[in-house]
Amino acid sequence: MKSIINQEKFIAMLHDGMSLMVGGFLTNGTPEGLIDLVVQSNVKNLTIIGNDGGYPDKGVGRLVANNQVAKVIASHIGTNPVIGTLMQEQKIEVELVPQGTLAERIRAFGAGLGGVLTPTGLDTMVEEGKQILEVEGQKYILELALGADMALIGGAIADSYGNLKYNKTMRNFNPIMATACKIVVCEPRRIIDEIDPEDVITPHPFVDYILVGEYSE
C-alpha cells in the first residue's frame, strides 16, 4: 500500500514560507481535508499556486482568510473578494497568470523544461518584466516553468499502489500539479484495490503520500 499519512505527520511537513500547489477549479477537486490541516497548522507566509483564489470560506480562500498567505499565483481571484481587498491594501501579493499559461508553466516544470513561449499577454501588463523572444518573425513571451514545495491533490480515486484517476471534472489542474512538486500528498475521494492501467491519470511514482480524511467516501 502507498504510504498512508496521518494528520500529525502531514502537519509536521509544513513550514513557514513554503509554496503549495492546490488542485481544483473553483474548489471542484480541491482537497478540503488537507486545507483543514494547513489551517490547523497555522504556518505563515505561504505562496499558494492554483487556478483561482477559491472562496472566502472554501478552498485556498480559507488560508487567505486565516492570514497564512503572502502570495497568490492564479488565473483569477474574482470569486474571493477578500484577496482583492488585501491586494489593494498591499497586504498580499497577487500574480495573475492567463489560465492556459499557468497550466503550461506547471506542465513545463514537470517535464523538466525551463519555460514556454506564448503570445498570450503581448502588449499588456502580462509582459512587464519578462523576456520577449522572436521566432520566425513572431514575438513570444518567455514564461518560466513553475514548481512548488508541495502539491495538495484532491478529487481522485486511488488504488493500493497509489495510482490515481479522477472523478470527472475534478481532473482539472490536479494531474499536472502532481508532476511539478517536491512532495505530492493526495486526499482521495475513495480507495479501491486496483485501477485499470488504461484509466490511470497520475501514475503512483508521482504520489508520495495519501491521506484519508473526513471528505473521503
Q: Which three cell numbers stand for residue 59?
A: 478552498
> In the prediction, which pLDDT does 215 show?
56
> In the prediction, which pLDDT does 214 show?
61
Please tell us whether the domain made up of 7-113+145-210 is placed in CATH 3.40.1080.10.
Answer: yes
pTM of the model: 0.94
User: What 8-state DSSP symbol labels residue 76?
Assistant: B
Sheet with 190-192, edge to edge strand ranges: 164-166, 156-159, 190-192
Q: Which residues pair with 157 in a beta bridge?
A: 165, 190
DSSP H or E segment with residue 186: strand 181-186
> In the prediction, which pLDDT does 20 show?
98
Average of per-residue pLDDT across 26-30: 96
The dihedral of CA 69, 71, 73, 75: what is its sign? positive
Average of per-residue pLDDT across 87-111: 97
pLDDT classification of 8: cutoffs 50, 70, 90? very high
DSSP for 80-104, written as a single string: -HHHHHHHHTTSSEEEE--HHHHHH
